[in-house]
Structure 1
Amino acid sequence: MSVPPRPDAQRPVLERAIGLQVVVCASAALCLALASRLVFGDFGALDRILLVAVRHAIDHPGAGWAALKHIMLLATAAGAFPTLAALTLIGAALLAMARRGAAAVRLVLCAGTGVAVANLVKYVFVRARPEVVPHWVQVSSLSFPSGHSADASIVYLLLAGLALDRVGRPPVRRGIASAAFVFVLLIGLSRVYLGVHWPTDVLAGWAFGAAWTYVAAPIVTRRPEPPDLRRADPVPRARG
């Protein structure tokens, strides 16, 4: 008897995309820091140049720029801890309603642990927030890596993985995955736009969050193995 394909067979597409995010973001952060060191003798010089250039390019009066600032404020709110915690709990509640209580617990544990570790890593590097441009939102924690970028990568990509586990149509799957990555991208960019993170903070946050999700997604989305009917013994054993 043939065994029906598991939903896991469709998951590698998302996993490859997350793995690519890890490699690209980590490599970009490393290259930016090394190039800054080689050219300017300072690991943070290019960070400062890029941050000031972004602010000067966008800090203009007018309705269009005001609307962009409003969008970025909404994006940064979408990556704030209360928003991500609420989304995680909603996802866990939906899993519990679908009688997947174990997956709900794994989602909360994997997302919560990842967010906690990402914020603890800040105290390893102890990098101060940028002061070269005015901050457009209030911040109090350390800078590296970006907590918004890391936390959003973890939560949105884990939730996308769970959604993909229930969807079979390729166009819908691509839409879900694309939406998750766009959210993560906008949230990270908003932190540089608002002047509260260096570009390498955001790249490192994306890399950390994607790496954590790459490990956690198979754990969160794991389903119980179906009973294998082929293992049943068709020949009754003789007694005594």
Structure 2
Amino acid sequence: MRTTDLPNISSPKSLMRRFEIATLVVIMISAGALWAFVALAAEMIEGDLHAFDETVLLALRTPGDPSNPIGSTQVETMMRDITALGGVTLLSLITLAVITALILKRQRATAGFLAVAMLGGQVLSHVTKLGFSRPRPDLVPHGVEVATASFPSGHSMMATVTYLTLAVILTRSEKSIRLRAFYLGVAVILSLLVGTSRVYLGVHWPSDVLAGWSLGAFWALGIWLVARWLQHRGRIEPSK
């Protein structure tokens, strides 16, 4: 077959088809994440998650001594360090740094969109916490200080929102599939580690973390969809 007979994989129709498939996949995953959050919330309200939560929480404690997490003191210190990766202060500093970088690159519309998206995620986290008002676990001592309600886990949710959204911003200007996968993989791993640390430290029930991951993924993927729509309409800067 001659080279001229080969299909043009970069033709406008091919690119549009890939765009539509990617959008459909993200919509389906986002809908699944929202469904998972709603299902977890319903089960939590009915009290059906109590046995599951207690089993997992106690599995991370020394048998016969719920006050002592499994692992050495170094593991506990590591978990406290990891949980800080989902704290408001650190996530705000990271977001502010990225927004500043976007402004310096003269992508002011994208910077503004990112700021609104992150602020919206924080508002959603606080509203859902107030709405459910689930008490923190009292089965084991808390490894760090906490002041808000338990469901959903704000650290898990905002880590997912922030790291996934920032990964998407990085992949917009990256042509290498390997690097795109790397950025997204790091975002997912960081989110999983933050959520796991919250359960290990005894400040969240496992279902709180699952709900935080689900709601965070829904918000982050929704941000991705809105960003693509705005970019298509010329409201934010296109990827380079």
- TM-score scaled by structure 2? 0.78
Higher mean alpha-carbon deviation, 159-168 vs 47-56, is at: 47-56
Name the counterpart of 1:46: 52
What are the superposed Cα offsets for residues 86-118 of structure 1, whole Å, 9 maximum, x if unpaired?
Answer: 111111111111211011001000111111111
Q: Where do 5+ consecutive residues of structure 1 fail to align?
A: 38-42, 227-240
Structure-2 change in CA distance of 1:141 and 1:23 (3 Å)? closer
Contact 1:145 1:202 in 2 (8 A): yes
Structure-2 change in CA distance of 1:16 and 1:219 (3 Å)? closer
- Offset of residue 32 of structure 1: 7.3
Contact 1:146 1:202 in 2 (8 A): yes
Q: Where do 5+ consecutive residues of structure 2 fail to align?
A: 1-10, 235-240
What are the superposed Cα offsets for residues 16-64 of structure 1, whole Å, 9 maximum, x if unpaired?
Answer: 7963872795488479759973xxxxx423212221221226735xxx6
RMSD: 3.1
Name the counterpart of 1:59: 69
Contact 1:122 1:145 in 2 (8 A): yes
Classify the secondary structure of the residue corresponding to 1:196: coil
Amino-acid identity (%) = 31
Is 1:119 aligned to 2:126, yes or no? yes
- Superposition map of 1:62-73 within 5 A: 65-73=72-80
Name the counterpart of 2:7: none
Is 1:223 aligned to 2:234, yes or no? no
- Superposition map of 1:162-177 within 5 A: 162-177=169-184
Of 83, 108, 116 in structure 2, the residue corresponding to residue 101 of structure 1 is 108
- Superposition map of 1:1-240 within 5 A: 9=19, 12=22, 15=26, 19=30, 22=33, 26=37, 29=40, 37=48, 43-56=49-62, 59-60=69-70, 65-220=72-227, 222-223=230-231
In the TM superposition, structure 1's runs of 4+ consecutive aligned residues that sit over 6 Å from their partners are none
> Greater CA radius of gyration, 1 or 2?
1
Corresponding pairs, count: 216
C-alpha distance in 2 between matches for 1:97 and 1:184: 28
- TM-score scaled by structure 1? 0.78
Contact 1:145 1:201 in 2 (8 A): yes
Structure-2 change in CA distance of 1:225 and 1:23 (3 Å)? closer
